[in-house]
Structure 1
């Protein structure tokens, strides 16, 4: 995936043009795609007037105090004006398609919630609303209007750019695919950024997404049981889940991003532990098997980071971590789709809406939602008890697949508002057929009274929930309690969900009521435990949760290969402690166990050749990294040979035979042009 027409600084120093960079990858056998930012990028020629003779720095996103929000030097976050989009199409998209690239990724359509004060934004406001701009800090309504416009601007921007890309490609006989790499709705809401998110799935010019979830997003602290802290695995699990559920009903393509480091400088131990957490979280979605791996490989292999938390010494990636990372990434080549499900009680979902992003900044009338606690207050009480809770997007409830597997739907309007009345009709139909809806909310936040569909154009509902309740045969402002509608049940709590997690033990009643509702008229209990486990082809994937009444370790019986250990040991059993995760190759589930094969490797395998008594292959991986592999063979080899790309025998090879698993371990230095391995028995 070649980034940016202008590239990054390391490319420029080498003097390579965009077309030369693309060709250099093609010569290595890669298919080249293109990615660039839609809200920021190396577009200095636009801002300084080189493109059209006019200065455009006034189109940056601006805070209340007049400061531009910068992504880099002379790289502001952008208000996507029509002129800017014309520049993107003419100077970037056209050139990329002319270079023969047929897949374009426009990443991170981001408008900061704290922005909205530039002259460019004021002009867009007047054009969209038909009345003069209003400062968002002056009222909740202004904030809501401002963020709705930010949302719409990037929706329109991507529609415009992708429409052009597809039409221009068609004129050249090419089928251009267009993707949006984007953070999750969970993360953008928590980081106070506005983006089109789920609405893009309705655009026929959007072919899919990359779920940009990694340590940097997943380590954002949240509250549970009265304590604010990082919960990287749990947050990643909810982030990936919100991305999967955003597109699952629409059938759009979804890639999961996985990144072994993050933007913020930390230490290598921190990166490794959190990479395992996010990597495990993504694998627990067995209906996704496409991934973006190793973004920014130069910073992974060449970046200098602290060797440990308490050390000031900086070094390049340790060999043990690069080896482990490459084992993990190459495992994804073989990660199958699976109909298996994560262990635990299924059917509890949390409702989300794009308007989660609209109420985050600034604070009005003293109403706080610390660290998105109204969302996590519904999800973490169950996830932390080993329930694989899902998310559901209000924008998708018209698709029959959306609520198909949901038994209990948790929702609130304390942190979001319905952008149309339509969703309520679908929710009411779902309840009428037997669904269970649990609504938590005091309905007192300052956004309840913004001018919106529920209180305008003939509607006079005081709160959006009043309209929902009317559809369900429940009186407006109904008190705490249980209500029946058709075959279904509605339970109302007059608490904002944040109250379940901001105080220790604050979720007890909430948990008990949901448990009782879940188990009513059903033979299935709502099981609480301290782990999530999935069998996916030959792989065992497990995460053991901490902050749980059950502090026991989780044991997986072998024999298994531990893929998070760069020594690739064969274990009779794997014991996973609370707060840790595991990815294992279960040797009892090898596909075609009579066939010699590489089961795990820190390289990619090519040109396999099997005879009656030999197995040969070529393995490729980056320079200055160590390859490890575990190879399944019918018997211990009597000899082996490792030959480098120039045909020279390699003598520095470590090997060992594990008779119990019939696997041979090899370790030697990698090479991108391919090391030739031959095993004879």
Structure 2
């Protein structure tokens, strides 16, 4: 099935809008971060007044769109009976003990019944009537532990045509329960987006339809079921937001027998899984980061992990669309209980400036054909069915911290290999395996949803692909009622059919097999064994080295402790804390450090293990014909004008009021202090807090506070 491109489905996606944020609150200058798009959240959120909120943001020049929850939201009128005269708490996601899983007061996580979808259509209609250009239905989530409500039991009977089974009773009941949960939110989004397209077209302005969602990796780790990659088959889905942030990426994972947070590495894999999910389908994708999180930590912790996730998202050069933050009102006006402080604390001024510098860098970040440093073409196979095996445990078989996935990725990633992921659901797209040289997979953590998957994999191997299969194939989900043991097939496990399609007869003790022009390695170890045990990763590392050496690259597998990517004038860098060496990464040249709110000019950067950096390359800028250019700024620059005949540079800078703007500007020569004029839009003078000139780079550094309406800057040379 060929997916339509985002550009082919909705004219409202051709606006050139590059950055966005979501917010329920009305416009306020104190948290106006000046992205291109604002996703106004919820019909009933922020006290209602939805149309006024939309109008207020639109008047400030924003492309206004609409976001609301698909599995939860401010829908109390539905649950309390105000919508149709009936209470609907029986549709809450319910655990075995009878307790509903709540998202908030009188707001449960929802079993998406057809009646509930009818209710959400009224919200979508109201948003379209208000003139929004896109609809976002976020987080289609069904908890793996919640399959006991009356509504879910009814949906089971309607879907399977046999009586409901408690999901904790057998592995098969767990699997069937998760498949149904997956189907229900697939149906929900199909129904709601079809309605949104149909109704908006009838009103003369077709809306875009997007799904903000966690990664398949995170949902599997957190034991949540969602449609994920299968949404690509819905013609009315225009794209996704990859909801990755500190809260998801700090989930501890094992490597070399040690369980701990590995935020950059985890974020790298999470963003990668979302990019690989969308790339073959030509869907549009926004990558999300968040400067803070709700769990109690220090501001230093927030900053350190924001830099880690931010650097990770930049490692995907094919994407240049970003949700720069969620809920900016909470970031700029909120106070947080943090470690070491009795009173709740607002965002530190220096960090607020740094965040705005980073956000503006996203506004300028180009798409690039450059690749992340390291061996290319090594991928791990994923499937939506990873979510089906997570809860509960059966027959004592456990997969701690999703180690059957991470066991295929971490031994490579921690050696500096930029391992990618491939979604089984996308194997029908020719682009999916086009650049993959070595594919790693297991059926310990997932199962194939269709026999065509095995034909697709077999065709790829026979055409010259190299496949590494890991697994003992003895987990309790191997025997669930599925296509490989039904309708005349009698395979004991799914891999038997895979090997048959490849013409392979497995022999105990034999590892490598030929299949057409390709090779297959079969190792009877579950991937989790490679990271739960110290030194276990060498098994996979050696296998990949052997496989990679036999590919057409004729290159050995490079190992290192860092990743570097250049995108235009930007350089993103990360040094791994658990890499093969503890050596720092030293980069020489002339740079602006964008993770420092003082925007220092450096001749050399020494980056220690466990750290990341984003640099602006001044050496590349020297080759540019631009005599005047704002290189870095903690705000949004508009109306920029260099009048060479008058030696006059002017611009307008906007950012959250009361935060401090820092900026570095390239100029032909050093200006006199008195020739630098800052003023508000009504002509009031703005104080210049700091000014300095760097002769080597010919750049001017300025610092001043953002003002309502923006600050006019005039520099007379």
Q: Paired residue for 1:666?
A: 702
Q: Paired residue for 2:571?
A: 540
CA shift for structure 1 position 267: 2.0
Q: Paired residue for 2:373?
A: 343
Instruction: Describe how 1:34-73 pairs up with structure 2 within 5 A.
Output: 34-73=66-105
Matched-pair contact (CA < 8 Å) for 1:470–1:476: no
Instruction: Describe how 1:140-539 pairs up with structure 2 within 5 A.
Output: 140-306=171-337, 309-475=339-505, 480-520=510-550, 522-539=553-570
Q: 1:494 to 1:575 in 2, by over 3 A?
A: same
SS in 2 for 1:305: coil
Q: 1:625 and 2:659 equivalent?
A: yes
CA shift for structure 1 position 181: 0.1
SS in 1 for 2:709: coil
Q: 1:480 to 1:446 in 2, by over 3 A?
A: farther
CA shift for structure 1 position 511: 1.0
SS in 1 for 2:406: helix
Matched-pair contact (CA < 8 Å) for 2:658–2:705: yes
Matched-pair contact (CA < 8 Å) for 1:304–1:316: yes
Q: Paired residue for 1:23?
A: 55
Q: 1:86 to 1:476 in 2, by over 3 A?
A: farther
Q: 1:82 and 2:114 equivalent?
A: yes
CA shift for structure 1 position 299: 1.2
Residues 531-564 of structure 1 deviation map (CA, whole Å, 9 limit, x = unaligned):
0000100001100001123111101222100000
CA shift for structure 1 position 139: 0.1
CA shift for structure 1 position 672: 4.1
The match for 1:616 among 650, 656, 671 is: 650
State the alpha-carbon separation in 1 of the partners of residues 170 and 497 from structure 2.
24
Matched-pair contact (CA < 8 Å) for 1:479–1:494: no
Q: Paired residue for 2:137?
A: 106
**Any unmatched runs of 5+ in structure 1?**
none
Matched-pair contact (CA < 8 Å) for 1:480–1:494: no
Q: 1:564 and 2:595 equivalent?
A: yes
State the alpha-carbon separation in 1 of the partners of residues 464 and 187 from structure 2.
38
CA shift for structure 1 position 626: 0.3
Q: Which has the higher contact order (CA 8 A, sep 6+)?
A: 2
Q: 1:5 to 1:497 in 2, by over 3 A?
A: closer
Residues 90-149 of structure 1 deviation map (CA, whole Å, 9 limit, x = unaligned):
2x0010001011200000000000000000000000000011100010000000000000
Residues 460-479 of structure 1 deviation map (CA, whole Å, 9 limit, x = unaligned):
11100000000111126765
State the alpha-carbon separation in 1 of the partners of residues 344 and 607 from structure 2.
30
Q: Paired residue for 2:34?
A: none
State the alpha-carbon separation in 2 of the partners of residues 325 and 460 from structure 1.
57
Q: Paired residue for 1:656?
A: 692
What TM-score comes out, normalization by structure 1 length?
Answer: 0.98
Matched-pair contact (CA < 8 Å) for 1:214–1:257: yes
Residues 216-271 of structure 1 deviation map (CA, whole Å, 9 limit, x = unaligned):
00000000000000000000000000000001000000000111112323221111
CA shift for structure 1 position 581: 0.2
Matched-pair contact (CA < 8 Å) for 1:623–1:671: yes
Residues 365-401 of structure 1 deviation map (CA, whole Å, 9 limit, x = unaligned):
0000000001000100010010000000111111111
RMSD value, Cα: 1.2
**Any unmatched runs of 5+ in structure 2?**
1-37
State the alpha-carbon separation in 1 of the partners of residues 687 and 504 from structure 2.
78
Q: 1:596 and 2:628 equivalent?
A: yes
State the alpha-carbon separation in 1 of the partners of residues 576 and 349 from structure 2.
29
Residues 304-362 of structure 1 deviation map (CA, whole Å, 9 limit, x = unaligned):
1245x333342100001000000000111110000000001111100000000000000
Q: Paired residue for 1:643?
A: 679
Matched-pair contact (CA < 8 Å) for 1:466–1:477: no
Matched-pair contact (CA < 8 Å) for 1:326–1:602: yes
CA shift for structure 1 position 592: 3.1
SS in 2 for 1:622: coil
CA shift for structure 1 position 6: 3.6
Residues 131-171 of structure 1 deviation map (CA, whole Å, 9 limit, x = unaligned):
11000100000000000000000000000000000000111
Residues 71-99 of structure 1 deviation map (CA, whole Å, 9 limit, x = unaligned):
00011000000000001002x00100010
State the alpha-carbon separation in 1 of the partners of residues 708 and 570 from structure 2.
27
Q: Paired residue for 2:35?
A: none
State the alpha-carbon separation in 1 of the partners of residues 510 and 257 from structure 2.
23
State the alpha-carbon separation in 2 of the partners of residues 479 and 160 from structure 1.
51
State the alpha-carbon separation in 2 of the partners of residues 214 and 568 from structure 1.
24
State the alpha-carbon separation in 1 of the partners of residues 145 and 421 from structure 2.
27
State the alpha-carbon separation in 2 of the partners of residues 357 and 601 from structure 1.
42
SS in 2 for 1:33: strand
CA shift for structure 1 position 300: 0.6
State the alpha-carbon separation in 2 of the partners of residues 188 and 584 from structure 1.
33
State the alpha-carbon separation in 1 of the partners of residues 578 and 145 from structure 2.
34
Q: 1:407 to 1:5 in 2, by over 3 A?
A: closer
State the alpha-carbon separation in 1 of the partners of residues 42 and 270 from structure 2.
30
What TM-score comes out, normalization by structure 2 length?
Answer: 0.93
**Stretch of structure 1 that moved more, 179-188 or 542-551:** 542-551
Matched-pair contact (CA < 8 Å) for 2:186–2:231: yes
Residues 475-494 of structure 1 deviation map (CA, whole Å, 9 limit, x = unaligned):
26765511001111000000
State the alpha-carbon separation in 1 of the partners of residues 345 and 44 from structure 2.
25
Q: Paired residue for 2:26?
A: none
State the alpha-carbon separation in 2 of the partners of residues 81 and 161 from structure 1.
12
Matched-pair contact (CA < 8 Å) for 1:306–1:313: yes
State the alpha-carbon separation in 1 of the partners of residues 626 and 294 from structure 2.
45
Matched-pair contact (CA < 8 Å) for 2:44–2:75: no
State the alpha-carbon separation in 2 of the partners of residues 104 and 262 from structure 1.
25
State the alpha-carbon separation in 2 of the partners of residues 181 and 566 from structure 1.
30
Q: 1:407 to 1:320 in 2, by over 3 A?
A: same
